[in-house]
Chain A
Amino acid sequence: MNDCDEQDLIEAAQAGSADAFADLVRNYRVRLLRFLMTRCASHADAEDALQDTLVASYRYLNSYDPRWRFSTWLYRIAIRNAHKLRQDNVVEFGDLQDEESDPMLQCIASSETENLWVCARRVLNDEVFAATWLRYAEDMSINDISQALDRSTSWTKVNLLRARKALESELNGQRQGAEAYG
């Protein structure tokens, strides 16, 4: 969908067309759900968070500022919803390590090597993980990430750099460990 189409759909949805809004967010739903899977305690929570995000974004679409990218606005709402859901369920980020309940681990296709996002979630804090996801999985710009997370651009740059270093260090450690035992 190009920007013109998206803008037309936004205007139609702002005029009250639920169908236009459904078309508008159709491409974002899977991406949002994938992101929410990394942040919620269960599959059901991630689906609820997605539904809440879409409903809230439709309800308050008239407050959407067109200076932002629509995806940035959606992710900002999604991050808030996931955070709120986690607070309601009193689940800490570190508690999402159990494979039986962790929706992200359930959705990862089997592979010989550990998925980097599992590693990222282990070594990064909640917010830095989100910034890293938006940067590398969603190809968002630094400005968009800053807006989605309500942080300064310098915070985003610094923490993305730190995240990279932490991940590289973790991967090097794993590699050395494998060589030592291999």
Chain B
Amino acid sequence: MASVRELKPMDKLSKQLKQDAGMIEVEISDELDRRINASLRSVNPVRETPRRRPAVFWWASSLTGVAAALVLIAVLNARSERDLPEAMPETSPVAMASSPVTPIIEWNAESAMLTSPLRKELDDLQSDIDKARKKVRDDIGL
């Protein structure tokens, strides 16, 4: 079933505004009519004629555009190279030993008693060193 859309009736305020606008009585006097007609006849309408440009204009403008783009690219490249950091900034090492705030660590170390296998190994190593030293002396003729 097709619904019939009712037109919204004009409300009281709208009606009153419309009616009161009509109460403002104006008329175009003969003198104003003559003035308007005379001024309209003296006016030359502005004609909007599209200006034709010579073909060279388009070539010149295209070349100018390309040149401007190249210059822009060159400038941007130069700027990006200049903006790169040349080298990492040198940092001076902080001397921890000389630092006045170096904490003093107290070592509570005790000498370890070497057990038998370690003593033996140390003696073997000492013996090897002595043998090697003797061999070197013999080789060089000392």
The secondary structure that dominates the A interface is helix
Q: How far is the CA of A22 from the CA of B37 in the complex (A)?
A: 7
Which B residues lie within 8 Å of A61 (CB)? 45
Among the listed B39, B40, B45, which residue makes an inter-chain contact with A62, where contact means beta carbons less than 8 Å apart? B45
Whether the pair A137, B18 counts as a contact (CB closer than 8 A) is yes
Among the listed A14, A50, A54, A132, which residue makes an inter-chain contact with B40, where contact means beta carbons less than 8 Å apart? A54
Q: Which of A1-9, A27-35, A75-83, A88-96 contacts B (4 or more CB under 8 A)?
A: A27-35
Cβ-based interface call for B46 (8 A): yes
Number of A-B contacts (CB under 8 A): 92
Among the listed A30, A37, A108, which residue makes an inter-chain contact with B28, where contact means beta carbons less than 8 Å apart? A30
Cβ-based interface call for A70 (8 A): no
Q: How far is the CA of A67 from the CA of B27 in the complex (A)?
A: 30
Cβ-based interface call for A59 (8 A): yes
Which A residues lie within 8 Å of B20 (CB)? 115-117
Whether the pair A107, B36 counts as a contact (CB closer than 8 A) is no
Cβ-based interface call for A73 (8 A): no
Among the listed A55, A107, A139, which residue makes an inter-chain contact with B26, where contact means beta carbons less than 8 Å apart? A107
Whether the pair B26, A37 counts as a contact (CB closer than 8 A) is yes
Interface size, chain A (Cβ < 8 Å): 41
Cβ-based interface call for A111 (8 A): yes
Whether the pair B40, A137 counts as a contact (CB closer than 8 A) is no
Give residues of chain B (3-34) contacting chain A, Cβ–Cβ below 8 Å. 13-14, 16-18, 20-21, 23-28, 32
Contact mask for chain A residues 101-131; partner B; CB cutoff 8 A; 1 contact, 0 none? 0001001110100011100100000000000
Q: How far is the CA of A33 from the CA of B23 in the complex (A)?
A: 13
Residue of B13, B21, B24, B47 with most chain A CB atoms under a 10 A cut-off: B24
Cβ-based interface call for B91 (8 A): no
Contact mask for chain A residues 51-63; partner B; CB cutoff 8 A; 1 contact, 0 none? 1001100111111
Which A residues lie within 8 Å of B48 (CB)? 62-63
> What size tier do the contact residues of chain B reach?
20 to 34
CB-nearest residue of chain B relative to A62? Answer: B48
Contact mask for chain A residues 161-174; partner B; CB cutoff 8 A; 1 contact, 0 none? 00010011001000
Cβ-based interface call for A136 (8 A): yes
Q: How far is the CA of A55 from the CA of B27 in the complex (A)?
A: 19
Which A residues lie within 8 Å of B25 (CB)? 107-109
**Can you list 7 residue pairs at the A/B interface with Cβ under 8 Å?**
A55-B39, A58-B45, A107-B24, A108-B24, A116-B20, A120-B17, A132-B17
* Residues of chain B whose beta carbon lies under 8 Å from any beta carbon of chain A: 13-14, 16-18, 20-21, 23-28, 32, 35-37, 39-41, 43-48
* Residues of chain A whose beta carbon lies under 8 Å from any beta carbon of chain B: 13-14, 16, 18, 21-22, 29-30, 33-34, 37-38, 47, 50-51, 54-55, 58-63, 104, 107-109, 111, 115-117, 120, 132-133, 136-137, 139, 164, 167-168, 171
